[in-house]
Structure 1
Amino acid sequence: MAQSMRTSRKVFLALIAVTLVTLLMYYGADRRWTGSRFDLGPCFRRAAGPKAKRTNVAFLKTHKTAGSTVQNILFRFAERNGLSVALPKQRYCHTFNYPKAFSAHWVHPHTLPANIISNHMRFNGAEVRRLMPADARYVTILREPAAMFESLFGYYGQHAQAFRSVPGGSLDVFLEHPLRYYRPQDKRSNFARNTLTHDLGGDKDRPATDAAYARSFTAQVERVFSLVMIAEYFDQSLVLLRHLLSWDLDDLVYVKLNMRVASSKRRLTPDLADKIRRWNWIDAHLYDHFNASLWRRLSALGSACVEREVRLLRAAQEKLLRSCFGGRRPLPSLAGKIQNKDLRPWQPNAKVGILGYNLPANLSGGLSSSTQDLCLKLIMPEIQYTKILLRSQSLRYCQNHQHCSPTSLSVQ
C-alpha cells in the first residue's frame, strides 16, 4: 500500500512538472522578454483586466525631458501593431514646423488617418483634435525646470540668440541679468524662457506678477492631458502610462536616448537653481503641480503595486538589452564612434556631445530577424526613425491608393 502511494505521488509530481514546463515554453515563446502574461498580482488585474489595448495616443514631446525615449516606445508599438503614426511633411524634417503652433496641414498625407502622433510640435489642441480619433489619450512629460534649463542652455547654446549673445557662453552671467540677452522676438527665444509652457501652447512671456495665468494655464493642461509624466520618475510614470493604455510591460521596454556626455553637464548650486526657477516661473508652477499630481496617482494605485511593476519592467529591460548586446548592458558611444550611420544621433554643437549606441557586429547570431529589428529600433535616434517610418507608411499607403508615388527617402 505504501509503495503504491509513493508511486502515485511520483506520477502526480511528474505531471505537475510537465505542466509547468509546457506553460513556460508556451508563454516564453509568446512573451520572450517580460513574461508579462504571468500573474503580476492584484494591482495588474484591477488596472488592466480584460481591456483591449488603447492604440490612439497623442504624445506632446517636450524638449530635454526624456521625450525621445517615450517617442521611441510609441514608434515601436505602432510598428508592431500595424498602426499609423502622423509624421511631418518632408520639408519640416522631424518636427511639425516647430516652434510655430501646430497645424494639421503640416502632417504628411501618407501617414493619415493617424493612431499616434509624437513628433515635436507646439501644442494646438483644436488642430490636434481635428487629426486624432475622438478616443485618443493625451500624454506629455515634464522635467524639473532647473535641470531642464541647464540642458537647454548647453544643447541650444549655439542656436538660440539669447544664449549666443552671453559673454563666454556663461549660464551664471545669463542668469544675473537675463533680460539683457533675452528678447521674445529673437530667433529660438522659445528655448530661453518657459520652454515647457511654450511647447504646451501657453504664453511663455507672461510677467511673474500674473500668478492667475499660471493657475489657469495649469488647469487647462490638466483638462486636456490624461497623463503628465515626470522625467525624474520615468519608470513610475511608465507604470501609469501602462495602466492608462492597458498595455503590457513588454510594450514599454526602453533604452535612454539623446543623452549628453557627462563633461558637458553643469552641476547646479541651490542659488543657481533658484534663479532658473524664478526666470522660468510658469514652468516651475507646472512642474510642481504635476509632480504632486503624479504621486497622488501612484499612491492611489498602491506603492506595492507600483514597486512590483517597476521591478518587472527593469527585469524585462535587462533581459532584452543583454540579448541585443551580447550578454551585457550597452555602453553609450560618441556619434563618431558609432559605425552604423542610422544610429548616430544629431550633434547640436562641438561643445555638447550626444551619445548613441553601437550594436554588436555578430547580432544576427542566434536572434530572429524580428528580434534583430527590435534591437536596432530600440536605439535608433528620432530623425532616422522618423524617416524610416515615413518611408514604410508611404509604401503602405500607396498600395491602397491609385495614382500614388511612395515617398522616397534616404536615411542620413
Structure 2
Amino acid sequence: MPQKKIFLAFMVIAMVTLLLHSGGHWSRTTQDLHVNCPALCSRCAASLKAKHTNVAFLKTHKTASTTMQNLLFRFAERNNLTVALPRQACSHQFCYPRSFSTHFVHPHTLPPNIISSHMRFKEAELRRLMPNDTVYITILREPAAMFESLFSYYNQYCQSFKVANDSLDVFMGQPWRYYRPQDKHSMYARNTLTFDLGGDKDRAATDMAYARFLVSEVERVFSLVMIAEHFDESLVLLRHLLSWDLDDVVYVKLNMRTPGSKRHLTSGLSAKIRAWNWLDARLYDHFNASLWRRLSALGPACVAQEVRLMRAAQERLLRRCFGGRRPLFRPAAQIEYKELRPWQPSAKVEIVGYDLPANLSRRFSGWAHEPCLKLIMPEVQYTRVLLRSQSIRYRQNHQP
C-alpha cells in the first residue's frame, strides 16, 4: 500500500512538472498579470480554452488594417487554417469596390476559417460563406488623419482629388466642386469607412436617424471594433475575445508612408475634414469611446501591463528572427529582397517596407525562414504566396 501511494505521488509530481514545462511561457506571462490584475487574470483562464479560429476581419482603408491582416495570415498558417482569398480576376481584393459576393472567393480557399482581404461589407454574403460561430472584427481610424492619408495615397486614382497642385486645402475649400459621387473611386473621397462597412457614404449631414442606424448595425454585427490610434490596446481586447496567446498578436507595422509624404493638419482643416466625412466621424467617436469603456473595465494599469508583455514578446520574436537586430526600415527601391518590396501607389507617394540585415540576406535566400519573412512581407506578395500554398493543399486533398 505505501508503495502504491509513493507511485501515485511520483506520477502527480511528474505530471505537474510536465505541465509547468510545456506551459512555462503561459505561466510566466499570466503570473505577471495575476499579481496586480485580477480582472485580467480572471480572463487568464481563457488561455486554457481552445483558440477561436473562425474570424472575419473587415479590412478598412488606411487604418493599420494591413498590419492586422498580416497578423491573421500568420495565425492561420501556424494553425493550419484556411483563409478565404480573392479570385485572381479580383486581384488581392474581393473585387472592391463592388459589394462582397461569395462568387469573388477563390474555390481553392473554401471552406474558410478566416477572411481579411479588402471588401465592401455585405453581411448576408459573409454569413453564407463563414462558419456560424465566426467572430466579426473591424478597425477604424480618426477621420481627419485617415482622409489625409487617403488623399495622398489615392491621388492618382480618384478623380475627385484632381485639384490644383494636388492640394488637400484646395479640395477641402470647396469639396462639392470637386467631388464626383459616381466616379469609380469616389469612395476614397467621402466617408470611406461608411462605404467599406456597406453604408451610404452620401447621406445628407442632417440625417441623424441614418447615423444612429449605422452605429447600431455595426454594434450588432461586430464583436470588436479596433481603433488604429490605440492598436496595442485593441489587441488586448482581441486576444481575450479569441482566447489567443501573446505570441499570436505580435506584429510589425506595414504599409506606411515616408514621414516626408505626410502633412500636418491644422485644427481648422481637421474640423473641415470631419464635417465632410461626418458619418465616419460619428462612427469613430462612438467606437473610440466604446473601446475605452471596455478597457477601463479591465483597469488601465492592467491593460498597460499586458501591452508591455505583448511588446516584450514582439521583441523576442524579432531577435529570434533577425539575429538580435530589427529588420531595416527602407524605401521600396532600396529593399534588396524583392518579396519584401511594398506596392507603390504612385511616384508621388513612397511606401516604406523592411529589408533584411546584411549578415542575414544570404541565409534568408531560401524558404527555410519563411515564417520570419512573412512577419515583414507586404500584402500583395503574402496574398499570392498564401494562395499558392492553399491551392497546393486543395489539389492534394481533392486528387481522384
TM-score past 0.5 threshold: yes
1:197 to 2:178 alignment: no
- The Cα of 1:374 is off from its aligned counterpart by 2.2
- The Cα of 1:211 is off from its aligned counterpart by 1.2
Alpha-carbon distance in structure 2 between the residues aligned to 1:365 and 1:239: 36
Equivalent position to 1:393, from 386, 390, 393: 390
Query: Counterpart in 2 of 1:296?
Result: 293
Query: Counterpart in 1 of 2:8?
Result: none
1:142 to 2:107 alignment: no
**Which residue type is aligned with residue 43 of structure 2?**
A
Deviation string 1:314-367 (CA, Å, 9 cap, x unpaired) is 111112223333323333100011111111000001111000001124438999
1:278 to 2:272 alignment: no
CA distance 1:315–1:197, change in 2 (3 Å): same
Q: Structure 2 matches for 1:257-268, cutoff 5 A?
A: 257-268=254-265
Query: Counterpart in 2 of 1:90?
Result: 88
Deviation string 1:356-393 (CA, Å, 9 cap, x unpaired) is 001124438999x9982221000000110001110101
Alpha-carbon distance in structure 2 between the residues aligned to 1:25 and 1:325: 29
**Which residue type is aligned with residue 238 of structure 2?**
L
Q: Structure 2 matches for 1:3-402, cutoff 5 A?
A: 26=21, 36=29, 40-41=33-34, 42-49=38-45, 50-163=48-161, 165-363=162-360, 372-402=369-399
Query: Counterpart in 1 of 2:5?
Result: none
- The Cα of 1:57 is off from its aligned counterpart by 0.2
**Which residue type is aligned with residue 54 of structure 1?**
H
- The Cα of 1:27 is off from its aligned counterpart by 5.2
**Which residue type is aligned with residue 302 of structure 2?**
C
Alpha-carbon distance in structure 1 between the residues aligned to 2:20 and 2:296: 36
Alpha-carbon distance in structure 2 between the residues aligned to 1:153 and 1:109: 35
**Which residue type is aligned with residue 173 of structure 1?**
V
Alpha-carbon distance in structure 1 between the residues aligned to 2:79 and 2:361: 23
Alpha-carbon distance in structure 1 between the residues aligned to 2:186 and 2:72: 29
Alpha-carbon distance in structure 2 between the residues aligned to 1:366 and 1:336: 21
CA distance 1:36–1:366, change in 2 (3 Å): farther
8 Å Cα contact 2:30/2:44 also seen in 1: no
- The Cα of 1:102 is off from its aligned counterpart by 0.2
**Which residue type is aligned with residue 380 of structure 1?**
M
Alpha-carbon distance in structure 1 between the residues aligned to 2:52 and 2:367: 23
CA distance 1:323–1:213, change in 2 (3 Å): same
- Return the TM-score normalized by structure 1: 0.87
Alpha-carbon distance in structure 2 between the residues aligned to 1:351 and 1:254: 28
Query: Counterpart in 1 of 2:3?
Result: none
CA distance 1:288–1:136, change in 2 (3 Å): same
**Which residue type is aligned with residue 169 of structure 2?**
D
CA distance 1:36–1:377, change in 2 (3 Å): farther
Alpha-carbon distance in structure 2 between the residues aligned to 1:329 and 1:373: 16
8 Å Cα contact 1:97/1:121 also seen in 2: yes
Deviation string 1:173-220 (CA, Å, 9 cap, x unpaired) is 000100111011012001000000000000000011111111111110
**Which residue type is aligned with residue 184 of structure 2?**
K
Alpha-carbon distance in structure 2 between the residues aligned to 1:310 and 1:334: 29
**Which residue type is aligned with residue 333 of structure 1?**
R
- The Cα of 1:73 is off from its aligned counterpart by 0.4
Alpha-carbon distance in structure 2 between the residues aligned to 1:210 and 1:94: 35
Alpha-carbon distance in structure 2 between the residues aligned to 1:43 and 1:321: 30
**Which residue type is aligned with residue 232 of structure 2?**
D
CA distance 1:353–1:35, change in 2 (3 Å): farther
8 Å Cα contact 2:327/2:357 also seen in 1: no
**Which residue type is aligned with residue 243 of structure 1?**
H
CA distance 1:244–1:31, change in 2 (3 Å): same
Moved more, 184-193 or 327-336: 327-336
Give unpaired runs (5+ residues) of structure 1: 1-18, 404-412
- The Cα of 1:302 is off from its aligned counterpart by 1.8
Looking at secondary structure, tell me which structure has more helix per residue: 2
How many residue pairs end up in the alignment? 379
Deviation string 1:87-111 (CA, Å, 9 cap, x unpaired) is 0001111000000100011100110
**Which residue type is aligned with residue 47 of structure 1?**
R
- The Cα of 1:264 is off from its aligned counterpart by 0.4
Moved more, 326-335 or 382-391: 326-335
**Which residue type is aligned with residue 146 of structure 2?**
M
CA distance 1:47–1:153, change in 2 (3 Å): same
